[in-house]
Structure 1
Amino acid sequence: MVDVAFGPEQGQRPDLSNSREAYLDMVRRKRMYGGILMVIFVALMASGWMLADDRNAGGFWQGLHQVFDFPSEVLSEAWEDRANLPALFWDHIPALIETLNIAAVATLIGALAAMALSLLATRGLARWPRLIPLFRRTMDALRAVPEIVIALVLIYILGGGPVPAVIAIALHTGGALGKLFSEVAENADLKPVEGLASVGANWSQRMWLGVMPQVAPNWLSYGLLRFEINVRASAILGFVGEGGIGHDLKLAMQWGQGRYDEVVAIFLLLFLAIVLIDRVSDHYRHKLVKGH
């Protein structure tokens, strides 16, 4: 009689003892490989740390006790001049608005580019399937180069100001969001797309009517998250002459003593702005994804 549960041969049964030994052997091998990788990782970290410490201008351990000297000096001076903080807040609001504008425009331009690149690089949706690797490598290249490197190059071409910062952040945003948008689009249901194709819709119509309604909530969620990141990036780019509140912070820190109250005011203003943006965008991301 054939045993349909365990095989066509009569009387065939799995050898549970061998299966148990094989499972335990697999677990032991995984633990051994994991331990070897951990040892290699720790060794690389230790060697890299020692190499960096040797090449550093000063010893890390010798200067460790001074790590809080500068922050304490800044905070003590700011506390003595704390009455000036409200006026300093007000003075730097225009620079903060410029920083937010840079981040908003760069996010919008980058998101539009990411939408096009993601659809062109998604299997099953691409307009030209043979060019999918080209569009994917384009997104890889855009997000591989840091914003500050792009900005430094553009300064020599366009000069200082917000325009190089917008272009630099937009390029990096296009690559980063393009990857995320593409992953969302890959999970879209293709039945609406196939239905639109059967009635003669072109590629743009299939994407707009068949794909966009499915991916829009997640795309908007990722776009809001990227806006938070770009606010920080635009503030950092201010240190290389790209305007905004980062430029004001750089000038205040260069003056040194006597301007530390301005440094603290700018930090607090930027911190409060980022917290507010984070809370608002988190609220709307939750509504977009969860629907309530």
Structure 2
Amino acid sequence: MSATDIQMTENYLAQTRRKRLYGGLILVIFVALMASGFTVADDRNAGGFFEGFHRILDFPKEILAEALTKWRNLPARLWAAVPALIETLNVAAVSTVVGGIGAMVLAVLSTRGLAPWPRLIPVFRRMMDVMRALPEIVTALVLIYLLGGGPVAGMLAITLHSFGALGKLFSEVAENSDLKPVEGLQSVGAGWFQRIWLGVIPQVAPNWSSYALLRFEINIRASAILGFVGAGGIGYDLKTALQWGTGRYDSVVAIFALLFATIVVVDTISDRARARLVRGGKLDEGRI
């Protein structure tokens, strides 16, 4: 073995040892932070975690026990929750469509080689960072204070978050697109919009559509959660049923069952649609 090979081997082993050392340090720090965070949270709780852990299933058992005694009411409860579910789906759909359109604009404006104003790329990227960093529930609480309770506040909150989340994903896809069609269109005098519409959109449309469908799934869950803070939809009905307590737990089970079934159906349909968009209709074997 030559001296060069020996040196390369030593450098590789030294680099490997450094990676293991850094990985070990990160793991130790992570465990320490988790332990300290758990200790602080447990001290601030009304009761200790381990002292109350054995009662973790008491509340679900109480809900299911009442629902079983009133099982004949479940079909009517399910039907009564359908309008709220439709409202939740409408909020998610509108948020996804509006958020997707805004994300497409932000993605193009923040992509190198495509942006009409390259110097403003950092500005648009920071805008997406801010919108992505703000949790929907925080934005919804502010909007509810300004606009009052209802689905509009929830829709705006989810839309703003979708701007940032989808804009980031769309931008990454656009950055990996082939610029040769764009350069060819530019050479024959095509304008900026024509270059984007004819040279970029056909390349990125499948992945953009796939990400938008995935975002729709996420927005359904977000819309249901925002109902707990007064943003309407099925989450608000679930919160009301839980607040009433004993006597309304059959409604709680019906709403949970309806929401779960809806999410499963949407996930299944969305998964198949995304598979066809990205892989040309070839679904992964064994995947539902």
Q: Could you state the TM-score of these two structures normalised by the residue count of structure 1?
A: 0.93
CA distance in structure 2 between the aligned counterparts of 1:125 and 1:21, rounded to whole angstroms? 44
Equivalent residue runs for 1:102-141 within 5 Å:
102-141=91-130
Q: What residue number does 1:152 align with?
A: 141
- Is residue 205 of structure 1 aligned with residue 194 of structure 2? yes
Q: What residue number does 1:41 align with?
A: 30
Displacement of 1:245: 0.6
Aligned residues with identical type, % of pairs: 67
Q: Which amino acid aligns with 1:210?
A: G
Q: What residue number does 1:277 align with?
A: 266
Q: Which amino acid aligns with 1:223?
A: A
1:67-109: CA deviation from partner (whole Å, max 9, x where unpaired): 1100111011111111111111111111101100000001100
Q: What residue number does 1:287 align with?
A: 276
Question: Paired residue for 1:179, among 159, 162, 168?
Answer: 168
Query: How many residue pairs align between the two structures?
Result: 281
Question: Paired residue for 2:207, among 198, 218, 232?
Answer: 218
CA distance in structure 1 between the aligned counterparts of 2:4 and 2:95, rounded to whole angstroms? 63
CA distance in structure 2 between the aligned counterparts of 1:20 and 1:247, rounded to whole angstroms? 63
Question: Paired residue for 1:58, among 47, 57, 67?
Answer: 47
1:208-230: CA deviation from partner (whole Å, max 9, x where unpaired): 11000000000000000000000
Q: What residue number does 1:195 align with?
A: 184
1:10-48: CA deviation from partner (whole Å, max 9, x where unpaired): xx9544344333333332232222222211211111111
1:184-227: CA deviation from partner (whole Å, max 9, x where unpaired): 00001001111111111111111111000000000000000000
Q: Which amino acid aligns with 2:224?
A: A
CA distance in structure 1 between the aligned counterparts of 2:6 and 2:145, rounded to whole angstroms? 72
Residue aligned with 1:167, SS:
helix
Q: Which amino acid aligns with 2:226?
A: L
CA distance in structure 1 between the aligned counterparts of 2:16 and 2:181, rounded to whole angstroms? 45
Q: Which amino acid aligns with 1:139?
A: M
Q: What residue number does 1:230 align with?
A: 219
Q: What residue number does 1:93 align with?
A: 82
Q: What residue number does 1:32 align with?
A: 21
CA distance in structure 1 between the aligned counterparts of 2:144 and 2:11, rounded to whole angstroms? 62
CA distance in structure 2 between the aligned counterparts of 1:170 and 1:91, rounded to whole angstroms? 28
Residue aligned with 1:228, SS:
helix
After alignment, is 74-83 or 224-233 more displaced?
74-83
Q: Which amino acid aligns with 1:123?
A: R
Q: What residue number does 1:82 align with?
A: 71
Tell me the C-alpha RMSD between the 2 structures: 1.3
Displacement of 1:162: 1.1
Question: Paired residue for 1:163, among 138, 152, 177?
Answer: 152
Structure 2: where are the runs of 5+ without partners? 282-288
CA distance in structure 2 between the aligned counterparts of 1:37 and 1:158, rounded to whole angstroms? 45
After alignment, is 174-183 or 151-160 more displaced?
151-160
Q: What residue number does 2:286 align with?
A: none
Structure whose alpha-carbon radius of gyration is higher: 1
Q: What residue number does 2:285 align with?
A: none
Q: What residue number does 1:7 align with?
A: none
After alignment, is 77-86 or 216-225 more displaced?
77-86
